[in-house]
Structure 1
Amino acid sequence: MEENKDVTIYDIAEKLNLATSTISRALQDHPTISKKTIKKVKEMSEKMGYVPNTLAAGLRGNKTKTIGVLIPTITQPFLSSLISGIEITAQKSGYQVIIMQSHDSYEEEVNLTKSLYSNRVSGVISSLAMETRDTSHFDQFTANNIPLVFVDRVPKEYNTFRVIIDNYAAGYKATKHLIEQGCKRIAHITAGAEFGNLYNERKRGYLEALKDFGLETDESLIINLKKVTYEEGVKASNHLFDLKTKPDGIFASGDIIAVSAVQTAKKRGFKVPDDVAVIGFNNDPISQIIDPNISTITHPAEKMGKASAEIILKNIKSPKKEDVREITFLNTEVLVRESSKKIP
């Protein structure tokens, strides 16, 4: 299999119909080149995945047997399990894994994609940062036939591989479970549609379940968080418990939010699940530590990691030249525990 040659200033020059000397000077911010041209050249060089010659000279040749993993953080249990699945599969095929954390920062994610490309990774698996809206910084991989897989937090539109669960079905199941426990006013604490398809689909499942079971949608019961953190969950829970007509059920889009809802309810003197039933999402270890144990939706993280790595390895061996868009749906289920079990 023939490897792609490095992008050179000649390639950029041809693309922009400019002299190579202009490209070279523009990349060095030379004062004889206009700011407009410098901007145009740098944008194109980044899009094409250009690496300066000083670095490229030492990296020229075959790509390393390395898969780059770019995720928001390794501290979330879901993402730790995801990494485990990736590593297990990669190592079996003789590949190493580089793990980088964006800490949910768009700027950091952009910088880390440059670093992964410079390190000549053979493929990239990424779960997007919460701040990310523009995903053009990933073009350097697809433009140079480096397999790219988005997992869990995926962009709404990007023509590459994706590994996700059916978030709509999962949100529907969680809400249906609360309805089956007798809940009539079900709140939903989410991250808001602007943070990507994942939370939007869970919310869509929640709304559809309410509709199917004849319950009205009350916008005051839907809270969009700025960050998915315990502290934000406490604020949201207090807001819900301050309502004149309080919720009798809460579907949280993450277990850490469900934990905050349960603990806030107890501090406010409400019994869980008698006064308010709570269900979370992800089946994080913390969901089984607190009292009462939290009902949750399983999220097959390790399987998703393995599936992502398998796609990368398959496409390293047999790269496809045509546009590819593959979505893998993985089943989820409701784990019923004490926090939502009203009916025996």
Structure 2
Amino acid sequence: MDNNEVTIHDIANILEIDSSTVSRALNNSPRVAKKTKDKILAKANELGYQRNHLASNLRKSKTFTIGVIVPRISRHFFSSAIAGIEETAFKAGYNVIICQSLESLEREQSIIDTLLANRVDGVLVSISMETINYNHFKGLQQRNIPFVFFDRHCNISENSKVVIDDFEAAFTAVEHLIEQKSTEIAHFAGPQNLEIYKNRFKGYKAALEKYNIPFREELVITSTLMEKDGSENVKKLLALPYKVDGIFCANDVVAIGTIQHLKKMNIKIPEEIAIVGFSNESISSVIEPALTTINQSGTEIGNVATKLLLDKISNKTKKGIHETIIVKTNLIERTSSLRTKK
């Protein structure tokens, strides 16, 4: 008999006992005599019976599984967030299904359908760059499946999220460039349909305004923030009639592409153009020059988001109460921006 196919009915037939008695014995019910229970457990072990936890959990209407959707696992922030998610979920007895949207709305929608088919108890999600339609999240709400946004989120009613203060972090980054004597500061922005990039852009503008530096729309270049975009953005920037001496990049990946292209053009960093990134990717500290960046703790965000989701699943949070938790960031100063000693 194939071990994977042994059922309680097989054990019942061999021992000529009712299958309901076998089920009770395997669940350690006090309604079954010890002698009978021992006999059933011995036969179950002999046949290599394995309890179907999924079926058992479904009967309890819980699968102890959560779904996680991230844009790209390869990004340091998301891989560290997943580490935090898995650590917290495992301690609470939950399994994790990890999926990546690869920045595709269609793929994100399909993943939600798959997670629903797998009867997950809740979902953690950081939305894709293409996500401008939120019906798939409203579908989760209609089915009473708890979900929590982390990092990238969208403004739909009755949602919980764990985020950083993107406005404040961007303001800090641009203020640092100004303190390092930059006066013509460009911004390599992310898609403005996403709240995080919208708020980073607002933080950039607010810092310029505070220091009476004119805002020039031409110095804001929007892209999907890939490494190749750094190179393309620099070409566009240098064709403009301004002597740009600082660039605030909405992520580290585009900042690294920017640094590489400026070096090819023999433009000195930070002497001629100072650069600040965002998110503290692993490569940021080893690229030459090392990249000044905003540090956001993916592991902490993952931990906090998972705790919030598990509270929602177990109804510890009151129905209808939705939370926004803000995790602190800090600026890591490195060579790419430091012109003056403090």
Equivalents in 2 of 1:146, 1:279: separation in Å?
A: 39
Larger mean CA deviation between 328-337 and 311-320 belongs to: 311-320
C-alpha deviation, 1:327, in angstroms: 0.8
Give the aligned partner of residue 37 of structure 2: none
Over aligned residue pairs, what C-alpha RMSD do you find?
1.6
State the partner residue of 1:158. Answer: 157
Q: Look at both structures and tell me which one has the larger radius of gyration over its CA atoms.
A: 2
Q: Choose from 324, 330, 335 the match for 2:332.
A: 335
Q: In the alignment, which residue of structure 2 is the partner of 1:21?
A: none
Counterparts of 1:1-344 in structure 2, within 5 Å, are: 62-194=61-193, 196-225=194-223, 227-318=224-315, 322-344=319-341
Deviations 1:217-247 (A, max 9, x none): 011111011x221111210012112222231
Secondary structure in 1 aligned to 2:163? strand
Q: Compute the TM-score of the two structures, normalised by the length of structure 1.
A: 0.80
Q: Is the 8 A contact 2:84 2:299 kept in 1?
A: yes
Give distance in 1, aligned partners of 2:136 and 2:321: 18
Instruction: Point out 4+ residue stretches in structure 1 off by more than 6 angstroms.
Output: none
CA shift at 1:63, angstroms?
2.2
Count, aligned residues: 286
In structure 2, distance between residues paired with 1:190 and 1:324: 33
Q: Deviations over 1:257-277 (max 9, x none)?
A: 111111111111210000000
Q: Conserved in 2, the CA contact under 8 Å of 1:190 and 1:252? A: yes
Amino acid at match of 2:83: S
SS in 2 for 1:156: coil
The alpha-carbon deviation at position 166 of structure 1 amounts to 0.2
Larger deviation: 129-138 or 173-182?
129-138
2:131 counterpart letter in structure 1: T
AA aligned opposite 1:96? N
Could you tell me how far apart the structure 2 residues matched to 1:303 and 1:334 are?
17
Shift of 1:321: 6.3
CA distance in 2, matches of 1:245, 1:134: 38
2:220 & 2:139 partners in 1: Cα distance?
A: 38
Whole-Å Cα distance in 2 between the matches of residues 315 and 157 of structure 1? 17
Q: CA deviation at 1:109?
A: 0.8
Aligned-pair distance for 1:141? 2.3
Is the 2:62–2:121 Cα contact (8 Å) retained in structure 1?
A: yes
Please state how far the C-alpha of 1:157 moved relative to its aligned partner.
2.7
Question: Does the CA contact (< 8 Å) of 2:68 and 2:123 recur in 1?
Answer: yes
Q: Distance in 1 between matches of 2:311 and 2:322?
A: 15
Which digits, 9 at most, give the CA deviation of each residue in 1:313-340, with x for residues without a partner? 1122226564233111111111000000
Kindly state the Cα deviation for residue 59 of structure 1 after the two structures are TM-superposed. 5.7
- Normalising by structure 2, what TM-score? 0.81
Distance in 2 separating the partners of 1:343 and 1:77:
30
In the alignment, the residues of structure 2 paired with residue 92 and residue 59 of structure 1 have an alpha-carbon distance, to the nearest angstrom, of 21
Distance 1:220 1:311 in 2: 41
After superposition, the C-alpha distances for 1:184-240 in whole angstroms (9 at most, x for unaligned) are 00000011312x110000010000000001100011111011x22111121001211
CA displacement at 1:282 relative to structure 2: 0.3
Aligned counterparts of 1:278 and 1:143: Cα–Cα separation in 2: 45
Q: What CA distance in whole angstroms lies between the structure 2 residues aligned with 1:283 and 1:88? A: 21
The aligned counterpart of 2:46 is none
Cα offsets for 1:84-135 (capped at 9, x unmatched): 0000100001111000111111111111101101111111000001111111
Structure 2 residue identity aligned to 1:318: N
Q: Quote the Cα distance in structure 1 between the aligned partners of 2:328 and 2:123.
A: 24
Q: 1:328 is paired with a residue of what secondary structure?
A: strand
CA distance in 2 between counterparts of 1:320 and 1:272 reads 49
